């Protein structure tokens, strides 16, 4: 099929009717019996991929098509019933298949080390296994639909497309090494950009291992002012070009330039979406290019109750902490730290979640002790006391004055990337 690109004419975004018509067009002329849908999980609630999944599910099942739904979890915990209902509406919870990144995958081949060396300036020379959930390779599926949001991302530059496959329903080698390659190459060289080294690795995987599979991408570009989703564009297609088009719009809608480095930035993490620092550190990733040297990032995190998304990763974060890029790489190279070497995704996360001493990071939480927060390298603050000063219900997005001090408030860090224009133009 030819790509279907639908772009909103107003800031309110595309209407449900416009989105449904585009979805219907993407199914025209297809003779389908069995379809697999790979939507994001609840951590991408504001992608509007839940609505698209709902539309696809009902259009297909009404025509007698068997539809299976497997959220692209990556290493995240499975979607709960309440999250499922909030995101996917009346689709039965029992339709959910749970991806296990450690056990449910098949190896397709490898991305060669010499190719990776050529795209990383020689910073990484080992090959990477391309692994994917076995159901993606099940030829009984006439079509695989991959809905999701294109938005700035700390590991790859701009999220989605093949990432939803090789990470979202991928295996440990690709997940771990792609995250580590991104960390070694440098997130600030990649965030908000398209053709990064990690993206090229996923493009290689698509071209060499998945080009024969019937995969339809449904990519959104959204913002969510006040929590209301505005879908500015929907890009449907089976090739790389739908991503290229979506990236251009996301760069316009999801990158905010601030005129000077932020001395104090306050970020709010919705408790229904952010339960761990593994996810909550988007507050660090997405603002680091806007923070001034010596500044303070305050993270209001009422729902954060743990560090990792699973027990193993939680233990690694507690053991090694967010100590900066050089300290983490030193620990990673030590032969006695095999546990860290075996989980490169966690090592990369530790690098991403640190400011490298350039600015301070204060987590204001309810359900983790001060000692535990400080034990992983952050500053700690009482949530209720901090909220009394920086009330997210009273602050407006962007610049505010609190007790005579200028602060910058971000109500949801997952939906954008913030960059200091002065620093960006000098780099």
Q: What is the pLDDT of residues 111-121, one digit of tens each?
A: 999 999 999 99
- Return d(Cα 124, Cα 186) in angstroms, integer: 12
Q: What is the pLDDT of residues 133-177, one digit of tens each?
A: 999 999 999 999 999 999 999 889 999 999 999 999 999 999 989
Query: Is the predicted pLDDT of residue 191 greater than 80, yes or no?
Result: yes
Closest C-alpha to 67, from 94, 87, 101: 94
pTM above 0.85, yes or no: no
Q: What is the pLDDT of residues 204-217, one digit of tens each?
A: 999 999 999 999 99
- Return d(Cα 326, Cα 220) in angstroms, integer: 36
Angle at which helix 49-61 crosses helix 16-27, to 10 degrees, equals 50
User: Where are the domain boundaries for CATH 3.40.50.11440 in the chain?
Assistant: 4-253
State the burial class of residue 403 (Cβ atoms within 10 Å of its Cβ: 0-12, 13-18, 19+).
exposed
Query: Is the predicted pLDDT of residue 276 greater than 70, yes or no?
Result: yes
Residues 6+ apart with CB under 8 A from 410: 265, 266, 267, 268, 283, 286, 287, 397, 416, 418
Q: How many C-beta atoms lie closer than 10 Å to residue 228's C-beta? A: 10
- Return d(Cα 390, Cα 379) in angstroms, integer: 17
Query: What are the structure tokens assigned to 198, written together?
Result: 């990690």
Task: Identify the H or E element spanning 426.
Answer: helix 421-426
User: Where are the domain boundaries for CATH 3.90.226.30 in the chain?
Assistant: 256-426
Q: What is the pLDDT of residues 35-77, one digit of tens each?
A: 999 999 998 999 999 999 999 999 999 999 999 999 999 988 8
Local structure of 11: helix, strand or coil: coil
- Return d(Cα 278, Cα 308) in angstroms, integer: 5
* Contact criterion met (CB below 8 Å) for 73 and 105: no
| pLDDT confidence tier of residue 426, bands split at 50, 70 and 90 | low
CA distances to 15, 27, 104 from 31, in Å: 28, 9, 28
- Return d(Cα 110, Cα 337) in angstroms, integer: 26
Supply φ then ψ for residue 131, to 5 degrees.
-125, 150
Mean pLDDT of 401-413: 96
Q: Which residues in 170-229 belong to E strands, given as ranges? A: 215-223
Q: What is the pLDDT of residues 313-371, one digit of tens each?
A: 999 999 999 999 899 999 999 999 999 998 888 999 999 999 999 999 999 999 999 99
The domain 4-253 is placed in CATH, from the list 3.40.50.11440, 3.40.1130.10, 3.40.50.1820, 1.20.120.10, at 3.40.50.11440
Closest C-alpha to 69, from 44, 105, 20, 35: 35
pLDDT at 337: 96
Chain-centre distance for alpha carbon 60: 28
Mean pLDDT of 226-244: 95
* Contact criterion met (CB below 8 Å) for 308 and 346: yes
Q: What is the pLDDT of residues 2-45, one digit of tens each?
A: 899 999 999 899 999 999 999 999 999 999 999 999 999 998 99
Find out if CATH 3.90.226.30 is the number for domain 256-426. Answer: yes
């Amino acid at each position: 099929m030819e790509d279907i690109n639908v772009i909103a004419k107003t800031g309110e975004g595309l209407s449900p009717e416009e989105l449904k018509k585009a979805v219907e067009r993407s199914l025209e002329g297809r003779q389908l019996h069995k379809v697999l849908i790979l939507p994001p999980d609840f951590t991408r609630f504001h992608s509007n991929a839940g609505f698209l999944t709902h539309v696809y599910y009902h259009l297909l099942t009404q025509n007698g098509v068997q539809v299976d739904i497997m959220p692209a979890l990556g290493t995240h915990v499975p979607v709960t019933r309440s999250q499922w209902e909030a995101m996917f509406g009346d689709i039965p919870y029992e339709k959910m298949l749970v991806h296990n990144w450690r056990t449910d995958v098949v190896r397709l081949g490898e991305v060669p080390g010499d190719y990776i060396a050529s795209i990383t300036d020689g910073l990484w020379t080992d090959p990477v296994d391309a692994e994917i959930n076995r159901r993606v390779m099940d030829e009984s599926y006439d079509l695989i639909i991959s809905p999701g949001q294109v938005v700035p991302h700390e590991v790859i530059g701009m999220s989605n497309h093949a990432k939803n496959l090789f990470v979202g329903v991928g295996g440990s080698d690709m997940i771990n090494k792609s995250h580590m390659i991104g960390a070694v190459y440098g997130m600030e060289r990649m965030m908000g950009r398209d053709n990064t080294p990690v993206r090229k690795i996923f493009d290689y995987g698509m071209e060499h291992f998945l080009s024969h599979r019937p995969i339809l991408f449904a990519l959104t570009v959204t913002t969510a002012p006040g929590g209301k989703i505005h879908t500015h564009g929907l890009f449907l297609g089976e090739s790389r070009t739908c991503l290229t088009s979506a990236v251009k719009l996301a760069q316009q809608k999801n990158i905010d330039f601030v005129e000077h480095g932020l001395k104090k930035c306050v970020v709010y993490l919705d408790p229904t979406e952010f339960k761990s620092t593994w996810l909550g550190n988007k507050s660090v990733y997405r603002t680091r290019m806007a923070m001034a040297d010596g500044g303070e990032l305050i993270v209001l995190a009422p729902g954060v109750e743990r560090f990792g998304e699973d027990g193993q990763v939680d233990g690694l974060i507690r053991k090694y902490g967010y100590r900066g890029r050089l300290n983490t790489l030193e620990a990673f190279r030590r032969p006695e730290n095999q546990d860290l070497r075996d989980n490169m995704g966690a090592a990369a996360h530790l690098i991403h979640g640190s400011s490298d001493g350039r600015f301070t990071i204060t987590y204001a939480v309810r359900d983790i002790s001060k000692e535990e927060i400080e034990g992983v390298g952050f500053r700690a603050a009482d949530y209720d006391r901090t909220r009394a000063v920086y009330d997210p219900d009273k602050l407006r997005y962007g610049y505010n004055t609190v007790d005579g001090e200028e602060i910058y408030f971000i109500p949801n860090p997952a939906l954008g990337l913030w960059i200091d224009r002065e620093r960006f133009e000098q780099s």
